[in-house]
Structure 1
């Protein structure tokens, strides 16, 4: 028998070896290692937790599985031939009856070699889209993870694609947002990065990217925006074209002058990125000025109203997240609008007869005439007519959707509605109703919580009205009354009511000060039509609808469902309607009586008579018409004095006449309807003011302090 220690232990009756020093049986052959303490037994809740061996094993297994999948995917996905979308096909735009408005299908594309693109223009694109393009791989994993995290956490959809991936999407795949397409994009990008040089990929990207104005590729963009070949682009111009890649339509400052601040921020971001990457000298950067692009020269197929309609539909689809501009630009979509052909034609005839027929080549001022119009069915929100200008190929900017002209006194009904909604009172505690008496003296200072202010708006022709009711002040569009009423209600509340009715919250110059009452905001014709349609529908607001159906390849694209809400009380909306009825019956809007059926409305004139408005509605239709002045050579807004052979153009003249002519034709086949109103008690009764009564000036301590405003309209229409 050997003298060496024996590894043995007594056995229990089952034959298992007992552990030394205890009675717990141990399986044969399981001997503790010398110097290694015995691992304690896991008990309780710890038993449900995986061990580190399990975690490590699972991770290794997933890594092997994922790695195998990536390897398999890399070998299975080949670089395909260029897809059909690399050459966009036509989109067809239809009226609501299915008749064709226009086929938008002429693709503007001209390929160039990378050597033709100035180096600084190439670098501007890289600064905008992918600054590490030359040094990083085809796929930026960190950017993809960051984009995914931002999307999941609600920070919006963030771009995580490199230029290589964008090129693959544009040229080889498509714009659809699916997991399969994204996976293919990644594999093709990796392969392409190995088979083609960075210069080849960048050249392809520059030739396939969409820049807006139907321009595909950098050469077409150079012509579309600056009327020059790509070789002649400056650094500043290249930076602007690079800016467009982020949002081609929204960043076209000619089509959307109200977006200029956002465009400048993006343009500066591009140039600052070039400096950061040492592609542009800081001194040169400091002297670089924004290069305003030229007017667009759209294809003749978009002449007349067709181009304005296409532009409005594209904006509508993009802003509502239905189809982004790049996806729509690939073509093949059939888009049925809510526009009614008979009413659209009637709007054109009304403008031709009441405006264009009155212009003369002998009057230079008539060259400055612009007209915008929009018409909405209040109950459905359907836009049935849209007038953008005399011809899209001659006047590129749509006068129906632009937001750079003051709306003037057609804003005043929103002040009255706000007073009724909020149960507001004058400074001396009298409830504000249509029969409330105010001081209508010319240039009377608005009174705020601390007394009289520096803001004292003039009435039209400096007329003193003395004691006057709100109803009469509306009929005559008295500025001094409405500025004070806005202060009494609270300018912030007035602004909130306007937004509730449908005026976009981001409308330029929609500022909460007493001057808001006089229409200093730069809302579009379509915006104002939306708000008046809300009043016409008894205070119910829903978004306007311009597109009824979208299909591609027989498949219908889902559109958001329209929902409505009671934006303001029916009593407040209907009381405002009752007051506006007297504007047409005996106030500044009597020309609208030519419609030949019950109608209400309001006239308005912008500062220095640069625009004249009429906004009105019947129970069936809400419509706004604006006549604007703009120098065709400089783009500057101009007064309308002397235009159309008139000493001045105001809202109660040509705009109201055009409104009546259109509305009469649009509703000719429909029976006339009376307004079904539920007004505030006593508000539909006309009371004459007591001239011995002191109307007071009125203040509302809950509103913000008044502010002097030097740019408020002084003419009322």
Structure 2
């Protein structure tokens, strides 16, 4: 083989590769293989995009209006003397300014929830990151939030656990921290956060756990409340007190580190004991009737539901707590324990000159009986309506010494037959005596002489609603109280006599303030003249005789004059006594809530106005008037002239052989030695069950010719 043939052999390819390598040419990496530079670029772009997103999210996330419930505040209702009756609220919350919260209570909350609150920004990055990680992994998402974040969550956001909600919480917290002072945020937080036992806010919590206002909390008590915030429903249970005490020690330790309490003070501290949780409801017992009536009147005054339940009004009522107690005691003492629960009593006491309702008894317990016997129940008035007839007659110029026919029975136009109690025949009788003995026939005669339209007008002027009277227009039975009236209407109506003929509309709200104490409404008594002072004086004089020696001697007061009128309706379905002194007018009504008769109750064959109702009135008024000055009624005015609508039977002239002076056949208005006649049986009428409330009319039709109702006593 020649050498030339060897030279023609080509060098292998790696020789060329080597030459390329030697010349500095490098092999390219695929695009998908990560490099440090690429990782850095991606991380930077991610930060820019994330920052942009956060910036956009911050910019477009406004601070929304706080939830209505979160900012709602309970309306407080007070007695006339300023003591609380109860709260009206969707939540038990009473806001207080920060300067009313003791410093040691504020610091206890910070020690428990956010010790660097005054120095750190509105968010905790570490806590936020932990919460977001918990949401993303399905773990625990709570804890680590600043007070600003907690307030943002409670006041502005929903309780859902999502990353978007946590980011919104952060944005709102940052904005709040920039736009509001730390003190403002802390005040809102303290008035918003939940403490257990249904208490929202530090003031409600102080009351719920220690039965005192927040301003009177000790450092130990403040630390106990602060310890509850983390797990309020859990820590508030008695069986978990050991864990609560551990939390309390953590809070106390924080207060020491923050310089709020000294180690020496801590050495003397003991974990505060919670007071027993109140089991009663704000509407339990008698308070429910007072609260419900207050709500009704606030609505009548133009306050909306939102204002009543969420805006923290301060409502000062006319109710007197002492008189409220006396009303309950008077009813409960007079009512035998073995009486059926459906036998109801209503009582209302009114201040005559202003119409302020001083006390009411609406039932034994509002939670069991929401129907207010004082303001809603409307039994027939019975003979307790007769004073309006008398006032109408006096206004018409018919004097107290006028004679009317009191014989029994009598049949009036249209076949309307009326008899007196026990069918006693009084014959011609003065108006004073007819009032004292509650003579039915005499009062029907008087009403017919005056005119039924005049009687209606007089009753309306004294506050009896027209819609109550109009169904009975033109019916003689109106004189005997066939109209259904409410105890509060009767108390205010008789108060018109006590105030010299001036009617004052009854009301329970005296004034309303907002949560800052600014006056929202001052209630001015609504008054008008119903009839003259002289008419009021003479009507009062006649009603004094009812108490002195008539059908209501059980109502006599021990140290002062009283006036009033009894009423017992047909078939003994309701019994009344309405009476007054110059200072207080009180109505008492008893009835069966199903409209059934009161006959046969244990201890009583029948209930008359002059028995249990008069006794209740007396027991209440003796206590209510104690220590009040004794005021006298005005003297009899003798308005009008004496009319002889019936001719008195002349008294026989005694012969010399007669040594005793016979009593006159027609006694004068002061004579009261004749014993009070008892009831007698009446013709049977078909039994009716009018239901509840009362609204029946027991006056017979013209064809029936039966006695319309049982007279008074």
| 1:623/1:597 CA distance change after superposition, 3 Å | same
Specify the alignment match of 2:288 in structure 1.
Answer: 307
Could you tell me which of 632, 638, 646 is aligned with 1:680? 638
Tell me the residue number matched to 2:411: 445
Contact 1:514 1:707 in 2 (8 A): no
Give the structure 2 partner of residue 623 of structure 1: 586
Cα 1:520–1:80 shift into 2, 3 Å:
farther
- 2: distance between equivalents of 1:419 and 1:684? 11
The separation in 1 between residues aligned to 2:374 and 2:506, in whole angstroms, is 14
**Partner residue of 1:646?**
604
1:300 is displaced (CA, Å) by 3.1
Structure 1 residue 354 corresponds to structure 2 residue 326: no
Q: 2:352 aligns with which of 378, 386, 411?
A: 378
SS of aligned partner of 2:316: strand
Superposition pairs of residues 561-710 of structure 1, within 5 angstroms: 561-630=524-593, 636-677=594-635, 679-680=637-638, 690-692=648-650, 708=702
Partners in 2 of 1:85 and 1:680 — Cα distance?
A: 63
CA distance in structure 2 between the partners assigned to 1:395 and 1:684 by the alignment:
50
Deviations 1:382-428 (A, max 9, x none): 211111111111211000011431111111000010111123xxxxx
- Aligned partners of 1:619 and 1:491: how far apart in 2? 29
1:341 and 2:325 are equivalent in the alignment: no
Match of 1:520 in 2: 482
The superposition leaves residues 55-88 of structure 1 with CA deviations (integer Å, 9 ceiling, x where unpaired) of: xxxxxxxxxxxxxxxxxxxxx9x99546425885
For residues 305 and 380 of structure 2, what CA distance do their matches in structure 1 show? 29
Distance 1:80 1:659, change over 3 A: same
Give 1:660 deviation, angstroms: 0.9
* Contact 1:589/1:652, CA 8 A, preserved across alignment: yes
Q: CA deviation at 1:564?
A: 2.7
| Residue deviations 1:497-550 (CA, integer Å, cap 9, x gap) | 001011122226662221111111111100111111111101012222311121
Give the TM-score, by structure 1 length: 0.54
Separation of aligned partners in 1, 2:89 and 2:642:
55
Q: Give the Cα separation in 1 of the matches to 2:617 and 2:441.
A: 27
Q: Quickly say closer, same or farther: Cα 1:510–1:351, change in 2 above 3 A.
A: farther
Distance 1:369 1:641 in 2: 11
CA shift digits 1:253-272 (9 cap, x unpaired): xxxxxxxxxxxxxxxxxxxx
Contact 1:404–1:508 (Cα < 8 Å) also in 2: no
List aligned pairs for 1:140-219, cutoff 5 A. none
> What residue number does 2:76 align with?
92
Alignment check: 8 A CA contact 1:607 1:711 kept: no
SS where residue 614 of structure 1 aligns?
strand
CA distance in 1, matches of 2:384, 2:291: 28
3-state secondary structure, aligned to 1:645:
coil
Q: CA contact under 8 A between 1:623 and 1:659: conserved in structure 2?
A: yes
Contact 1:583 1:590 in 2 (8 A): yes
Shift of 1:457: 2.2
Name structure 2 gaps, 5 residues minimum.
Answer: 1-59, 93-154, 157-278, 652-664, 667-699
- Indicate the SS of the match to 2:347: strand
When structure 1 is superposed on structure 2, of 434-443 and 596-605 the one drifting more is 434-443
Partners of 1:94 and 1:683 in 2: CA distance = 50
Question: Conserved in 2, the CA contact under 8 Å of 1:299 and 1:393?
Answer: no
Corresponding residue SS for 1:643: coil
Q: Deviations over 1:671-717 (max 9, x none)?
A: 222112351259899xx98225999xxxxxxxxxx985989532314
Relative to 1, partners in 2 of residues 1:404 and 1:621: Cα closer, same or farther, differing over 3 Å? closer
Q: Distance in 1 between matches of 2:70 and 2:409?
A: 63
Is the 8 Å Cα contact of residues 311 and 515 (structure 2) preserved in structure 1? no
- Match in the other structure for 1:547: 509
Structure 1 pair 667/318, CA: closer, same or farther in 2 (3 Å)? same
Mapping for residues 66-77 of structure 1, pairs under 5 Å: none
Q: Matches of 2:708 and 2:280 in 1, distance apart? A: 39
| Structure 2 match to 1:488 | 449
CA distance in 2, matches of 1:689, 1:577: 26
In the comparison of the two structures, how many residue pairs are matched? 420
Say whether 1:394 aligns with 2:352.
Answer: no
- Residue matched to 2:169: none
Q: Secondary structure at the match of 2:540?
A: helix
1:407·1:521 contact (CA, 8 Å) conserved in 2? yes
1:179-233 Cα distance to aligned partner (Å, 9 max, x none): xxxxxxxxxxxxxxxxxxxxxxxxxxxxxxxxxxxxxxxxxxxxxxxxxxxxxxx
Shift of 1:459: 2.0
Q: CA deviation at 1:318?
A: 2.1
Contact 1:359 1:645 in 2 (8 A): no
Q: Which whole-Å deviations, capped at 9, do the CAs of 1:576-623 have from their partners, x for residues lacking one? A: 001001001110011111443100110001232111100011111111
Matches of 1:87 and 1:467, distance apart in 2: 72
Q: Give deviations 1:626-661, integer Å, cap 9, x for gaps.
A: 11112xxxxx22111122410001100011111111
How far apart, in 1, do the equivalents of 2:558 and 2:481 lie? 26
Equivalents in 1 of 2:67, 2:638: separation in Å? 64
- Measure how far apart 1:441 and its partner are: 2.4
Write the deviation string for residues 278-326 of structure 1: whole angstroms up to 9, x where unpaired: xxxxxxxxxxxxxxxxxxxx9833111111011111222223x332445
Matched, 1:456 2:436: no
Q: Provide closer, same or farther for how the CA distance between residues 644 and 663 of structure 1 changes in structure 2, counting only shifts above 3 A.
A: farther
Aligned counterparts of 2:509 and 2:281: Cα–Cα separation in 1: 24
Confirm or deny: 8 A CA contact 2:394 2:639 kept in the other structure: no
**Cα RMSD between the aligned structures?**
3.4
Secondary structure, counterpart of 2:598 in structure 1: coil
- Superposed CA offset, 1:443-466 (max 9, x none): 3112xxxxx331122322333222
Which residue, 387, 411, 427 being the options, matches 1:413? Answer: 387
CA distance in 1, matches of 2:425, 2:559: 33
* Superposition TM-score, scaled by structure 2 size: 0.55
> Cα distance, 1:104 vs. partner?
2.9
**Which protein shows a greater Rg?**
2
3-state SS, counterpart of residue 348 of structure 2: strand
1:301 is paired with a residue of what secondary structure? coil
Give, in whole Å, the separation in 2 of the partners of 1:101 and 1:612. Answer: 31
Preserved CA contact (<8 Å) 1:350 1:661: yes
Q: Which moved more, 1:503-512 or 1:432-441?
A: 503-512
Cα separation, partners in 2 of 1:384 and 1:711, compared to 1, 3 Å: farther
C-alpha contact (below 8 Å) 2:394/2:640 kept by paired residues: no
Query: Are 1:408 and 1:604, in contact at CA under 8 Å, matched by a contact in 2?
Result: yes
Change (3 A) 1:683 1:444: same
Distance 1:684 1:646 in 2: 41
| Residues 509 and 522, structure 1, Cα contact 8 Å, conserved in 2 | no
User: Could you tell me how far apart the structure 2 residues matched to 1:642 and 1:509 are?
Assistant: 34
Correspondences of 1:317-336 after superposition (within 5 Å): 317-319=298-300, 321-325=301-305, 327-336=307-316
Alpha-carbon distance between aligned partners in 1 of 2:560 and 2:388, rounded to the nearest angstrom: 24
Displacement of 1:433: 2.3
Structure 1 distance, partners of 2:630, 2:648, is: 37
Look up the SS of the partner of 1:583 in the other structure: helix
Which whole-Å CA distance do the structure 1 matches of 2:65 and 2:629 have between them?
60
Structure-2 separation of matches of 1:567 and 1:515: 23
Structure 1 residue 105 corresponds to structure 2 residue 89: yes
In structure 2, C-alpha distance between the alignment counterparts of 1:394 and 1:676, rounded to whole Å: 44
